[in-house]
Chain A
Amino acid sequence: GAVVSQHPSRVICKSGTSVKIECRSLDFQATTMFWYRQFPKQSLMLMATSNEGSKATYEQGVEKDKFLINHASLTLSTLTVTSAHPEDSSFYICSARANNFSYNSPLHFGNGTRLTVT
């Protein structure tokens, strides 16, 4: 149980275009989802908390107008990288908790999206 699915797994886009990444909880409902970014050989950095039915909460230094998050249902959150540039190339990973009411429970992660901006 507690499967998180992410799509696409890999995307290549041209500089200046926008890319949408989908994150779905397949067998549970998630009122909150978390988006991370990971550069090669580095740890995961939390970008934002996606809240169903309300605005996302962004971490310090993350541009909310560049990384648009929509959490329109209890099983789907999307991250749109707008006007992508080569420095946005990274591995983007979403996650959620099967238990929405306990933060003392582990996150379940999708398999990530490798974004390459040319």
Chain B
Amino acid sequence: GESVGLHLPTLSVQEGDNSIINCAYSNSASDYFIWYKQESGKGPQFIIDIRSNMDKRQGQRVTVLLNKTVKHLSLQIAATQPGDSAVYFCAENTGGFKTIFGAGTRLFVKA
């Protein structure tokens, strides 16, 4: 069904600082998780993914942490830059080919 029309949570960070964006997922059977970045007026862009048999994965300036015990996912962005300002979504594959998106977080980077 449709999500309730709530404003997106916002995270405001200073340029150069590290950002941590959190996400709680709902389905304990989910076995693949993805973080997407969405800029205004555009489709989501893949950032990083992680499978359920891992608890940490690193990319370039980004790290994803997975805690299956509490069904929690986080995205860490190192040395945040103005170009990182966007809405970030976590998403999960609940089995099969469907990807379900979680609530997003808007990241503001102050210069």
Contact = CB atoms under 8 A, between A and B. Distances in A.
Interface string A42-83: 111110010000000000110000000000000000000000
A32 interface: yes
A87 B80 CA distance: 38
A112 B38 CA distance: 11
B102 A103 contact: no
Given A49-B97, A61-B1, A104-B32, A43 B102 contact: yes
A13 interface: no
A112 B42 contact: yes
Interface string B49-66: 101000000000000000
B31 interface: yes
A93 B36 CA distance: 14
Contacts, number: 74
Contacts of A60: 1
Interface residues of A, number: 29
B5 interface: yes
Contact of A112 (B1, B6, B41, B97): B41
A17 B21 CA distance: 41
Given A43-B89, A46-B99, A104-B93, A110 B34 contact: no
Contacts of B100: 46
A112 B102 contact: no
Contacts of B101: 36, 43-46
Interface of A: 4, 6, 32, 34, 36, 39, 41-46, 49, 60-61, 93, 95, 97, 103-112, 114
Given A45-B2, A106-B46, 9 more contacts: A32-B97, A42-B6, A42-B8, A45-B3, A46-B99, A97-B97, A103-B32, A103-B93, A111-B42
Rank and list the top 6 A-B pairs by shortest CB-CB distance, nearest first. A109-B43, A106-B46, A44-B101, A104-B32, A103-B97, A43-B101
19 contacts: A34-B98, A34-B99, A41-B6, A41-B7, A42-B2, A42-B6, A43-B89, A43-B104, A44-B101, A46-B100, A46-B101, A95-B44, A103-B32, A103-B93, A107-B34, A110-B43, A111-B41, A111-B42, A111-B43
